[in-house]
């Protein structure tokens, strides 16, 4: 057992139990043991091969106190939204009471009783799944902060007016801590939700040291449900963000994910969706633009467990400075999942001699009536295109910036809301790494 | 001031170590349209690429003067801003870059170079509207990425349209006719002809005489073995059509009556 | 010098003979097969039995000690019953004798007969095709032809044991430099107990006058086969090496852990082709060879080139990643592979292309075919080091599924640390299209022929890389291996 595993295990054991239903208290106690048994991952663990674990050194485990964040501290909302929930330093802010018809948003503690039937199996299931048992166990043991979002049958929680925005921020209050947060998204049959998450820092940076956050999100999509999930992350370089999103998708449900990583010292995102009902679809796209010493790990896994499902993974990366990008995309087609269609694509531009990109698009296929393709590239801008632009009068630098922006636009173009797409495009332009910088 | 817009003297150029141009001479004046013809591999496209400054084309000897300046010293974008336009034989597809956005960026870069105010998108749209109609370019095409998914004809029309917007002083049309059916060819030729003016020179590079029926050149040059083998007026193109290029290989230049023959590397090819 | 070497050998045997009593080791040094099990004594016994110099015995022992500290890899997409390494016999010589036959005429006629049954009329075929054949029957080389002709060109082509005896300096200089003894679990095991194999040396400026070919076969029951091959191509030399494997039916699983090391110096080119058809087990998944191979080539010199071509149709388990370390500037690595799994076969195979030198190029074409309950995984690594300016890789990795119970998997690792590098990976997974099949059937082609035609087309890019007669054999193997896969 490594020093940090031991240190955190002791901290877990010593942490006071928050009041909770008996079943949850028991799960939390078990999770302490599970964490100790699993231990923190390391480079020999395949899925953590490229992740620098040293960034966790010096982070303390804490249970964040619910301190409503002064709204002024956080950057303005990225988009128009009727419901905004702030989560500052891992602590849930005020949850609005006036919500559109069919939409319920409650702090975890309040929701436990009302949604016990739904939440208990989810709490239990998480221990059985996921490559990163240690961090999941940690979250279960400590995450008293959390949010439950429920959209009732056929309700449109995510119509243009009813968009839910989660506004995250890490400030000085989070320095040297590893906060835990749990999120549940429950969509009944035919329900719709548009969820936008922004991690755009807060007014004050967490100081010199690292500030960590471990967010575990579990989502259930009922038959025909639609979840659109957009996540924009441009935290400061002090931020250490671990997010794990686990979905279950029933028949004909549709999940659309758009993720953008522009910041954080370490951002690691694990996204797993299980297409359990026929006709379910997962449309997953993302981009990272990295500079400095940033490290972004994206691990996406789509499991086709029923016939006639379709999924796409589409990711683009631009790496400058000394940054490092990791993409591990996996698509599994289980026996019997005939008529499945899988597309996977990851293209990267490497701009700096000190940057590195590691990509691994995996296919695991056990059914023959399938269409599957994947591709991955790491390279530079097309010099023929650069010349074409220069022959029309653009400078070399302008031509390259234009082409790099166009390279990323392949992802922003997939953001359905044009206003949101434009704002994200603006953030991307501002984050454009330079090739020369060392 | 020298009235020659472009002076190419004893140009030698190689690609990947292979010598393509072997002492080419050419003079083009403002207001003139020159056709450069020749068999495949004679160096037509190399000449176009050298003038535009494409990477990988090494000039080993000779010079290219444009409006009295040494053109070879300039970066490709400086040449563009100085008024040189190349209509590409194979226009490049640039996924993700919107066609309108691209063209405005190019025009503004050139305007800025010339010290003119840049155009905002409203002004720009106004500017291009009329030019779109001439070339039968639909709005739809303008909203798509540069050349992406365009048909062969659409790509070539898009090149001529860009030329109309950028208003170059010297336009080089590299095999603009290749891959076009007769209707598309006429459209393109009409677009080009509208842009002929006393201030503008054009070099039309083509393998076939067909295009020259619609864009009638002032001068025709035949390129062979990397230099101008013969020059003449528009009739030379017709003769070529009848006799083909095979006479070049046989050295039977005299067979073409009325053609001024090039004489080795030193001969002045262009008239005037 | 050779006699000195032999003297050393004898003395080490003597020493060993005395030692073995001390440790209660009972097997007679003259025996044909050691009893199952592996310990330092076994390693010493093998080395002594082969009359090896002391440095090699020590090298083996060091490898053995490393092996003890290592774990069998578990990352491959393979389901394997744990292997009891103490239940395996690590050396077996053919019945003939301790004195190897000096020419084909001296070869046990029964051995030659076995080759005939396998469709490899050794000398005739060798002469007709102009191929020198170094046949390995179980663990000891039994015949080498065309050696004289090769000798004239200065090419050394002999068994590994002979090379140890006759060219100890060459062996010592290169052995383990490409695949270090502790590279991985199976390489360490091989380094400790390797039985025999081939040695090839192409001198500077020499283009090997013929294709060198070795047919490996496993014959004795429950005998592990641990081949060791070393090929050295000096500056400006060229060699094409063919390795073919067929194996008779066996009931018990057999372990095969070979190591192949290639060294290409400046402007040298090595082409290494393999057709692997070890016994795959029966239709119930019983028996079959466990094939754990470490093959690696080092492009040490500038502008050197190493090209691997493999057709893998056999073995119950295939674990194999012929790789290239592209150290020399402008060196080139290639990997062309067809892997077929039918019935209960499992394959986890691919390549590693490690770009270190500038302007290095690599190309990977992999075709996986899964039928029956076969599991077929491509696993590849393309790594571009910071130093590898302008490195280029292109990978195409296609899978075909035939039937509903098989699996096709792709695990490509791409690690790029240089901004001037271009790495492209493409992959598709498909099945034999019903429209394709119907079109063939409608023209009067039987379903089986249609399938083999389509599969052959699918594999064309790889077959093209094989020497002609190998290509024919590979195609035939594919057809045989696919029997019963459709319908």
User: A172 is written with which tokens?
Assistant: 């000085």
Q: Inform me whether the C-beta atom of residue B89 falls under 8 Å from chain A C-beta atoms.
A: no
- Beta bridge partners, C238, equal C207, C269
Which of C403, C419, C430 is opposite residue A351, by nearest beta carbon? Answer: C419
* Beta carbons of A363 and C75 less than 8 Å apart: no
Chain C: give the shortest CA distance to residue A215, in Å. Answer: 28
Nearest residue to A316 via CA among A411, A432, A210 = A411
Strands C156-159, C198-202: pairing is antiparallel
A–C touching, 3+ CB–CB pairs within 8 Å: yes
pTM listed for this prediction: 0.80
C403 dihedral zone (left: phi>0; alpha: psi -120 to 50; beta): left
A377: closest chain C residue by CA: C424
Beta bridge pairs of residue A255: A227, A282
C-chain residue closest to A366, CA distance: C407
The residues on A that touch C, with CB distances below 8 Å, are 46, 335, 338, 348, 350-380, 435
Is some CB atom of chain A closer than 8 A to the CB atom of B95?
A: yes
pLDDT value at residue A127: 65
SS3 state at A394: coil
| CB-CB neighbors (< 8 A) of B113 in chain A | 393
B81 vs A: CB within 8 A: yes
What residues of chain A lie within 8 A of the CB of C402, using their CB? 368
Residue with tokens 């070529």: B240
Cβ-proximal residues to A322 (8 Å cutoff; 6+ apart), any chain = A292, A293, A352, A354, A355, A438
- Copy the structure tokens of residue B62: 């000779």
Contacts of A383 in chain B (CB under 8 A): 55
What distance in Å separates the CA atoms of residue C84 and residue C68, rounded to the nearest whole number?
13
Q: Chain A to chain C, count of Cβ pairs less than 8 Å apart?
A: 111
Per-domain boundaries in chain B:
4-261
C-alpha A250: how far from its chain's center?
21
Asked if A398 is an interface residue toward chain B (Cβ–Cβ < 8 A), one would say yes
**Residue numbers in A near B95 (CB within 8 A):** 406, 410
Phi, psi of C233, rounded to the nearest 5 degrees: -115, 110
| Residue B266 DSSP one-character state | T
Q: What is the ipTM of this complex?
A: 0.84
Question: In chain A, count of helices (H) and strands (E)?
Answer: 8, 20
pLDDT value for A125: 85
Query: What are the distances in angstroms from CA C31 to CA C19, C26, C27, C372?
Result: 17, 11, 7, 42
Contacts of A403 in chain B (CB under 8 A): 94, 97
Per-residue tokens: B68? 């009295």
To 10 degrees, the CA torsion angle through C417, C418, C422, C427? 0
- Residue A411's nearest CA partner among A256, A271, A194, A267 is A256
Quote the CA–CA distance of C295 and C276 in Å, as a whole number.
14
pLDDT on residue A201: 80
- Between chain A and chain B, the number of residue pairs with CB atoms below 8 A apart is 75
Nearest CA in chain C to A376: C425
Other CB atoms within 10 Å distance of the CB of residue C128: 10
Could you tell me the CA-to-CA distances from A173 to A89, A147, A202, B53 in Å, in that order? 7, 20, 11, 57
Question: Using N-to-C axis directions, what is the helix angle for A3-14 and A133-142, rounded to 10°?
Answer: 20
- A54-90: b (≥16 Cβ within 10 Å) or e: ebbeebebbbbeeeebeeeebeeebbebbbbbbbbbb
β pairing state of C238-246 and C269-277: parallel
Query: A390 and B86: CB-CB below 8 Å?
Result: no
Nearest Cβ partner for C429 among A358, A361, A370? A370
Taking CA–CA distances from A347, the nearest residue in chain C reads: C424
Q: Check CB contact of B6 with chain A, cutoff 8 Å.
A: no
Chain A nearest C-alpha distance from C422 (Å): 4
Task: Test A407 with B86 for CB contact under 8 angstroms.
Answer: no
Low-confidence ranges of chain B (pLDDT < 70): 1-2, 96, 246-272
Alpha-carbon torsion (B145, B146, B147, B148), positive or negative:
negative
Read off the DSSP letter of residue A415. -
Give the chain A residue nearest C386 (alpha carbons).
A353
- Any CB–CB contact under 8 A between A211 and chain B? no
Chains with ≥3 Cβ pairs under 8 A against C?
A: A
C-beta atoms of B145 and A395 within 8 A: no
Kindly report the nearest CA distance between residue A392 and chain B, in angstroms.
Answer: 5
The residue among B51, B92, B93 with the most chain A CBs within 10 A of its CB, best to mutate, is B92
Q: How far is CA C14 from the centre of its chain?
A: 34
**What pLDDT does residue C58 have?**
95
How far apart CA C469 and CA A11 sit, in angstroms, is 68
Residue A34 backbone phi and psi in degrees, to 5: -65, -40
Of the partner residues B52, B80, B96, the one whose CB lies closest to the CB of residue A409: B96
Choose the mutation target among A377, A384, A436, A437 for the interface with C, i.e. most C CBs under 10 Å.
A377
Min Cα–Cα distance to chain A from B75, Å: 8
Residue among C404, C411, C422 whose CB faces A379 most closely: C422
Note the pLDDT of residue C36.
81
Of A335, A355, A358, the CB nearest to C414: A358
Per-residue pLDDT of chain C (487 residues; tens, 9 = 90+): 333 333 333 343 334 333 332 322 323 334 456 778 888 988 998 898 888 999 999 999 999 999 999 988 888 888 888 888 888 878 765 443 344 444 555 545 544 554 454 454 444 434 333 334 454 443 344 345 566 778 888 999 888 888 999 999 999 999 999 999 999 999 999 999 998 888 999 999 999 988 887 654 444 444 457 889 999 999 999 999 988 755 444 445 578 899 999 999 999 999 999 888 777 877 788 878 889 999 999 999 999 999 999 999 888 899 999 999 999 999 999 999 999 998 899 999 999 999 999 999 999 999 999 988 899 999 999 999 999 999 999 999 999 988 888 999 999 999 999 999 999 999 888 777 666 666 666 666 677 777 777 788 788 888 888 887 777 777 777 777 776 666 4
Choose from B86, B94, B144 for mutation: most chain A CBs within 10 A: B94
Distance, CA of A40 to CA of A132 (rounded, Å) = 9
Which tens digit of pLDDT belongs to each residue from A323-366?
Answer: 999 999 999 999 999 999 999 999 999 999 999 999 999 999 99
CATH superfamily for domain B4-261: P-loop containing nucleotide triphosphate hydrolases (3.40.50.300)
Give yes or no for B115 touching A (CB within 8 A).
Answer: no
* Higher-pLDDT residue of A82, A281: A281
B135 in contact with A, Cβ within 8 Å: no
Cα separation, C445 vs A34, whole angstroms: 60
Q: Rounded to the nearest 5°, which phi and psi values hold at A273?
A: -130, 140
d(CA B224, CA A257): 58
Domain extents in chain A: 3-277, 384-438
Does residue B164 contact residue B134 with C-beta atoms inside 8 Å? Answer: yes
B167 Cβ under 8 Å from any chain A Cβ: no
Side-chain half-sphere exposure of B164, counting CA atoms within 13 A: 26
CB within 8 Å of A6: residues ≥ 6 apart: none
With CA atoms as reference, the chain B residue closest to A384 would be: B92
CB-CB neighbors (< 8 A) of C413 in chain A: 358, 360
């Amino acid at each position: 057992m490594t020093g940090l595993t031991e240190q955190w295990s002791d901290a877990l054991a010593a942490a006071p139990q928050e009041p909770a239903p008996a079943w949850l208290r028991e799960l939390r106690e078990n999770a302490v043991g599970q964490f100790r048994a699993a231990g923190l991952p390391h480079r020999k663990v395949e899925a953590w091969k490229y992740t620098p674990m040293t960034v966790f050194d010096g982070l303390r485990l804490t249970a964040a106190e619910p301190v409503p964040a002064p709204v002024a501290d956080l950057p303005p909302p990225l988009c128009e939204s009727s419901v905004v929930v702030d989560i500052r330093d891992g602590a849930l802010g005020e949850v609005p009471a006036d919500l559109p018809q069919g939409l319920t948003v409650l702090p975890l503690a309040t929701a436990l009783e009302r949604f016990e039937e739904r939440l208990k199996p989810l709490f239990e299931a998480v221990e059985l799944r996921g490559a990163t048992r240690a961090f999941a166990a940690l979250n279960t043991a400590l995450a008293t902060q959390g949010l439950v979002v429920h959209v009732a049958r056929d309700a449109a929680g995510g119509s243009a007016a009813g968009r839910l925005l989660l506004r995250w921020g890490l400030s000085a209050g989070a320095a040297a801590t590893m906060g835990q947060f749990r999120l549940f998204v429950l969509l009944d049959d035919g329900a719709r939700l548009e969820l936008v998450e922004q991690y755009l820092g807060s007014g004050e940076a967490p100081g010199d040291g690292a500030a960590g956050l471990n967010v575990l999100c579990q989502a259930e999509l009922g038959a025909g449900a639609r979840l659109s999930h957009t996540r924009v992350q441009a935290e400061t370089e002090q931020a250490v963000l671990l997010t794990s999103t686990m979905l279950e998708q029933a028949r004909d449900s549709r999940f659309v994910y758009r993720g953008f990583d522009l910041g954080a010292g370490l951002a690691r995102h694990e996204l797993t969706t299980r297409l359990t009902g026929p006709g379910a679809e997962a449309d997953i796209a993302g981009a990272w633009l990295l500079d400095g010493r940033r490290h972004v790990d994206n691990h996406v896994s789509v499991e086709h467990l029923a016939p006639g499902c379709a999924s796409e993974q589409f990711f683009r990366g631009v790496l400058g400075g000394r940054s490092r990008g990791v993409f591990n995309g996996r698509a599994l087609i289980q026996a019997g999942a005939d008529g499945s269609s899988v597309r996977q694509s990851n293209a990267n531009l490497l701009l700096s001699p000190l940057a590195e990109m590691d990509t691994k698009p995996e296919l695991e296929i056990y059914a023959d009536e399938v269409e599957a393709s994947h591709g991955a590239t790491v390279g530079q801008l097309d010099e023929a295109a650069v010349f074409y632009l220069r022959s029309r009068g653009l400078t070399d630098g302008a031509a390259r910036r234009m082409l790099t922006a166009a390279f990323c636009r392949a992802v922003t173009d997939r953001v359905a809301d044009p206003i949101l797409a434009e704002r994200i495009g603006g953030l991307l332009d501002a984050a454009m790494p330079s090739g020369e910088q060392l | 001031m020298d009235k020659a817009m472009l002076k190419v003297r004893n140009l030698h150029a190689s690609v990947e170590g292979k010598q393509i141009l072997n002492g080419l001479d050419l003079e083009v004046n403002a207001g003139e349209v020159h056709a450069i013809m020749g068999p495949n591999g004679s160096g037509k496209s190399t000449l176009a690429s050298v003038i535009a400054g494409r990477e990988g084309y090494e000039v080993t000897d000779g010079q290219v003067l444009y409006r009295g300046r040494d053109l070879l010293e300039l970066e490709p974008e400086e040449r563009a801003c100085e008024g040189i336009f190349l209509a590409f034989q194979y226009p490049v597809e640039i996924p993700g870059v919107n066609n309108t956005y691209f063209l405005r960026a190019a025009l503004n870069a050139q305007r800025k170079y010339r010290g003119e105010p840049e155009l905002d998108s409203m002004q720009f749209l106004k500017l291009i509207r009329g030019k779109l109609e001439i070339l039968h370019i639909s709005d739809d095409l303008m909203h798509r990425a540069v050349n992406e998914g365009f048909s062969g004809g659409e790509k070539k029309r898009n090149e001529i349209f860009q030329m109309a917007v950028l208003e170059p002083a010297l336009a080089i049309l590299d095999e603009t006719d290749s891959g076009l059916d007769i209707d598309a060819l006429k459209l393109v030729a009409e677009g080009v002809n509208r842009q002929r003016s006393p201030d503008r020179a054009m070099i039309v590079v083509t393998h076939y005489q067909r295009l020259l029926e619609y864009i009638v050149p002032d001068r025709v040059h035949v390129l062979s073995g990397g230099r101008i083998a013969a020059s003449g007026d528009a009739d030379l193109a017709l003769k070529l059509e009848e006799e083909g290029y095979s006479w070049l290989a046989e050295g039977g230049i005299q067979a073409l009556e009325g053609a001024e023959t090039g004489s080795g590397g030193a001969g002045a090819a262009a008239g005037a | 010098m050779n006699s000195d070497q032999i003297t050393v050998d004898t003395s080490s045997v003597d020493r060993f003979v005395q030692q073995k009593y001390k440790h209660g080791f009972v097997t007679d040094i003259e025996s044909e097969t050691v009893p199952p099990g592996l310990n330092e004594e076994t390693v010493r016994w093998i080395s002594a039995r082969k009359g090896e110099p002391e440095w090699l015995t020590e090298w083996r022992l060091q490898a053995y000690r490393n092996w003890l500290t290592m774990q069998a890899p578990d990352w491959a997409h393979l389901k394997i019953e744990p292997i009891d390494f103490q239940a395996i016999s690590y050396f077996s010589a053919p019945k003939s004798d301790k004195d190897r036959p000096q020419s084909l005429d001296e070869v046990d006629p029964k051995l030659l007969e076995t080759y005939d049954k396998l469709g490899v009329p050794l000398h005739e075929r060798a002469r007709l095709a102009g191929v020198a054949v170094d046949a390995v029957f179980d663990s000891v080389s039994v015949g080498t032809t065309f050696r004289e002709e090769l000798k004239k060109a200065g090419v050394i082509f002999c068994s590994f044991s002979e090379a140890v005896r006759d060219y100890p300096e060459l062996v010592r200089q290169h052995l383990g430099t490409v695949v270090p003894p502790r590279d991985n679990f199976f390489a360490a095991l091989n380094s400790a107990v390797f039985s025999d194999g081939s040695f090839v040396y192409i001198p500077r400026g020499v283009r090997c006058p013929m294709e060198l070919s070795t047919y490996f076969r496993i014959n004795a029951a429950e005998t592990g086969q641990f081949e060791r091959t070393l090929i050295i191509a000096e500056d400006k030399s060229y060699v094409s090496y063919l390795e073919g494997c067929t194996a008779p039916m066996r009931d018990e699983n057999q372990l095969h852990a070979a190591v192949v090391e290639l060294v290409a110096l400046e402007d040298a080119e090595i082409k290494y082709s393999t057709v692997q058809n070890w016994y795959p087990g029966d239709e119930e998944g019983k028996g079959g060879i466990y094939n754990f191979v470490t093959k690696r080539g080092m492009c040490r010199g500038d502008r050197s080139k190493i090209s691997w071509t493999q057709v893998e149709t056999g073995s119950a388990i295939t674990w194999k990643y012929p790789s290239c370390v592209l150290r020399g500037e402008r060196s080139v690595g290639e990997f062309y592979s067809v892997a077929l799994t039918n019935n209960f076969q499992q394959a986890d195979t691919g390549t590693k292309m490690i770009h270190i030198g500038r302007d290095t190029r690599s190309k990977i074409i992999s075709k996986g075919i899964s039928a029956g309950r076969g599991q077929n995984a491509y696993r590849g690594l393309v790594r571009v080091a910071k130093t590898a300016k302008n490195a280029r890789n292109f990978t195409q990795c296609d899978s075909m599924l035939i039937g509903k119970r098989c699996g096709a998997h792709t695990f490509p690792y791409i690690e790029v640390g240089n901004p001037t590098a271009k790495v492209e990976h493409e992959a598709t997974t498909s099945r034999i299209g019903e429209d394709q099949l119907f079109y063939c059937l409608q023209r009067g082609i039987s379903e089986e022929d249609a399938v083999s035609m389509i599969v052959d087309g699918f594999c064309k890019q790889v077959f093209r890389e094989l020497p002609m007669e190998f290509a024919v054999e590979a195609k035939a193997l594919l057809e045989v291996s696919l029997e019963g896969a459709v319908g």
